[in-house]
Amino acid sequence: GENVEQHPSTLSVQEGDSAVIKCTYSDSASNYFPWYKQELGKRPQLIIDIRSNVGEKKDQRIAVTLNKTAKHFSLHITETQPEDSAVYFCAARRALGANNLFFGTGTRLTVIP
Amino acid sequence: DSGVTQTPKHLITATGQRVTLRCSPRSGDLSVYWYQQSLDQGLQFLIQYYNGEERAKGNILERFSAQQFPDLHSELNLSSLELGDSALYFCASSVGEQNYGYTFGSGTRLTVV
């Protein structure tokens, strides 16, 4: 199956700074890479995703990059705000077979005002 | 409201007991996925159903079972409960087997005492 590794496990940044979270995946056949944000006690919510035919995608302060050769993808948050504080999960989905998402272990982001 | 409904929101039960968690997918979604999230842990995939049939199995214990009914709602049955089964159980749904994104419900918090 797919194995997704995520780093760092915790990240603290000053408000206004950028935050970067990195993930690697093992299955070269994976073709879909979403990022979810989970606030304390709440459900994970999709914030951005990228497909394997695209190298970068941006949505306001959030961007995701994908390097298929190296099998890694990253989440970039610019101009961080206190409300960005949450746990962020990356995930990968294989192109063939079962389409369940394999999640990374999560990154707890704290934005310090 | 994500459109994915999970009941109950909270459940407290004793070791050795059996419980049933229920999930109603978003209208039009045929796939249902179950995930377990233990305290400060990631999202562990348990099982997927598509239009009533089991499609993929993850790290689901033999004490756990699930099914999806003709009206597409799904139930996750947990039996012979142990303290270590205490966790948040999330259900997610998507339109089809190869649909990329899926939406999580708000989860059921199970506490085994």
Q: Give the integer Cα–Cα distance in Å for A46 and A53.
A: 19
Q: Give the integer Cα–Cα distance in Å for A97 and A93.
A: 10
Of all residues in chain B, what percent carry a pLDDT higher than 90? Answer: 81
Burial class (CB in 10 A: 0-12, 13-18, 19+), B94: buried
Q: Please give, one letter per residue, the 3-state secondary structure of B36-48.
A: EECCCCCCEEEEE
Task: Nearest by CB to A104, from B42, B48, B106: name it.
Answer: B42
pLDDT of residue A97: 67
Q: Where does the pLDDT of residue B95 fall: very low under 50, low under 70, confident under 90, or very high at 90 and above?
A: confident
pLDDT of residue A26: 94
Of all residues in chain A, what percent carry a pLDDT higher than 70? Answer: 97
Q: Where does the pLDDT of residue B52 fall: very low under 50, low under 70, confident under 90, or very high at 90 and above?
A: very high
pLDDT of residue B39: 78
Q: Please give, one letter per residue, the 3-state secondary structure of A12-77.
A: EEECCCCEEEEEEECCCCEEEEEEEEECCCCCCEEEEEEECCCCEEEECCEEEEEECCCCEEEEEE
Q: Give Cβ neighbours of residue B40 (< 8 Å, ≥ 6 apart).
A: none
- In this prediction, residues A93-100 reach a mean pLDDT of 75
Mean pLDDT of chain B: 93
Burial class (CB in 10 A: 0-12, 13-18, 19+), A7: middle
Q: Give the integer Cα–Cα distance in Å for A35 and A19.
A: 14
**Contact with chain A for residue B58, Cβ under 8 A:** yes
pLDDT of residue B41: 75
* Residue that wins the pLDDT comparison between B1 and B64: B64
* A15 has a pLDDT exceeding 90: yes
Q: Give the integer Cα–Cα distance in Å for B104 and A75.
A: 20
How many angstroms separate the CA of residue B92 from the nearest CA in chain A? 10
Q: Give the integer Cα–Cα distance in Å for A49 and B8.
A: 30
Nearest to B34 by CA among B88, B89, B86: B89
User: Are the Cβ atoms of B42 and A32 closer than 8 angstroms?
Assistant: no
pLDDT of residue B97: 66
What are the C-alpha distances in Å from A35 to residues A91, B65, B84? 6, 28, 28
* B50 has a pLDDT exceeding 70: yes
- In this prediction, residues A37-65 reach a mean pLDDT of 93
pLDDT of residue A12: 98
* A53 has a pLDDT exceeding 90: no
pLDDT of residue B98: 65
Instruction: List chain A residues with CB under 8 Å of B31.
Output: 99
CB pairs under 8 A between A and B: 54
How many angstroms separate the CA of residue B61 from the nearest CA in chain A? 18
